[in-house]
Chains A and B, each alone.
Chain A
Amino acid sequence: MMERNEKAAIIRMFHVFKRFGKKNALVDITLDIFKNEFVFICGPSGAGKSTLLKLLYLGETLSEGQILIEGVNISRIQRKKIPLLRREFGIVFQDFKLIPTKTVFENVALVLEAKGKKSSVTQKKVKSVLRIVGIEKKLNAFPPTLSGGEQQRVAVARAVVGEPKIILADEPTGSLDIVSADVIIDLLDKFHSRGATVIMATHNESLPNKINGRVIHLREGHLETLTAGRQD
């Protein structure tokens, strides 16, 4: 098992602590996440789920410990190289974080433009991804004119268009109705089956039953249990 961990772990966390002032947000987290895993990070509000994801994409800095992503110690990464690290991730947020003044197409295309992709490549890829998430007919719409479910589909499209190795989803279904939430879970599962590692933070304990994945429970910043999700 240990040998498998070292070979296939895409993310390794060693005794990770995160403090905000005197408050401990994460306490002594040691964890491996493997390539092409679907991992749920469950726990109540304030458990440290979002903080854990933020540490991965350097939205927050570590207080103590080490995080390796594909063998690279991200706490030592130079500031100017942070964008390159973030390109390894596709991130989906509860509040979508779409740019309201840009169209659906422009929001998704932004990822490829930031990578310096040619316009023709961007056009092709964005349209293809929008087709997969089922929102190709609204590519010229502005986010505020879309429903919550549609906006989250755009956010998923943006997260996957750069073909990231890791998809981080922070409560992606938190503000959606059950039907829309199921669509988003199915989409994430679809991209997981295409080879992406998916890490999803959720307070909804029933979600792991829908996907074949691993469940990590956090409570008040402490890692409580590691359990298997649905096993097919």
Chain B
Amino acid sequence: MNQFVTRAIKDIFKNGYLNTVAVTTIALSIFIVSAFGLFVLNTNDMITAWKKGIRIMAYLRSGISNEKLVEIEFKIKQHDGVQDAHFISKEEALIFLREKMKGQSSLLEDLDKNPLPDAFEISLALSLKDMTDIETLAERIESIPLVTDVEYGQVWLKRFVNIFNLFRLAAFGMGGLFFMASVFIIGNTIRLVLYSRREEIEIMRLVGATERFIKIPFYIEGFILGALGGLIGIIASFLGFLLVSSNIFQGISSDLFMIRFFPSDISLGIILCSIFVGWLGCYLSLKQFLKEY
């Protein structure tokens, strides 16, 4: 095996130009796919963080007795997915509103009576992950007698999640396309390498080399090219990430979540995927090439 590895490494250097093209192609593909991956990863984190901050406001009919309030609170807390329910009286709500609208407080001065309803502010358990879960819970709370309305920023959150899902789908689609394009380009680059070495392959056959003896160093080359391309691609992605995260996205990061790079297991997975792409490109082109020549 050592002999094959040595041959493969020597051959990589001897066909430096074409192999550099192959490594660059793999690295570029990995870089582009990683950029999409990072976008999906961080947007997902962002949505998860925002979901943690979501509160359902359950507005109540006016003039409810304390006994009824306790009963409603009990019914709300009975539902799965509810972490806590905190009663906010309409007086507290008005004070809160006045504080929020300090600049335009004159708007509230002429009010004859407090127009705000009593409400329960409901914080959600972390187990609620999907929008549909939140929607279902909101519907259940709304169906409790004396609850007139519920609100949780559903319209904008739904839109945002839909857009995110679209991006995620696009990222997976692009990832798949880049994977196929990479295999195709790498396969053709390796075909060029093989074509430039067809005389060598012919000579090997004439001196009694088996197909296995001819193929193994090429497979090792594909493996090494894939690993190199993957490593360079992931390093380039990391450098690009550092550049972007320290400038453009600094404003987006908050206490709830931090923009992050791929964890080590995903980075390793990307490099393994790149090795597979290198080997597959090599395998397919070698199979076709050895049939033709």
Contacts and interface: CB of A to CB of B under 8 A. Distances in A.
Q: Which of B14, B15, B202, B205 gathers most chain A CB within 10 Å?
A: B205
A97 B203 contact: yes
A114 B209 contact: yes
A115 interface: yes
B289 interface: no
Given A80-B211, A114-B213, A97 B206 contact: yes
Contacts of B202: 97
B3 A86 contact: no
B209 A83 contact: yes
Interface in B61-88: none
Interface residues of B, number: 16
B199 interface: yes
- Looking at chain B's contact residues, is the secondary structure mostly helix, strand, loop, or mixed? helix
B200 A86 contact: no
Interface in B180-221: 199-200, 202-211, 213
Contacts of A115: 208
Contacts of B15: 101
A57 interface: yes
B208 A83 contact: yes
Contacts of A99: 199-200, 203
B208 A84 contact: yes
Contact of A114 (B14, B199, B200, B204): B204
Interface of B: 3, 14-15, 199-200, 202-211, 213
List of 3 A-B pairs having minimum Cβ-Cβ separation, nearest first: A87-B208, A114-B209, A86-B208
Interface of A: 57, 59, 80, 83-87, 89, 91, 97-99, 101-102, 110-111, 113-115, 119, 158, 162
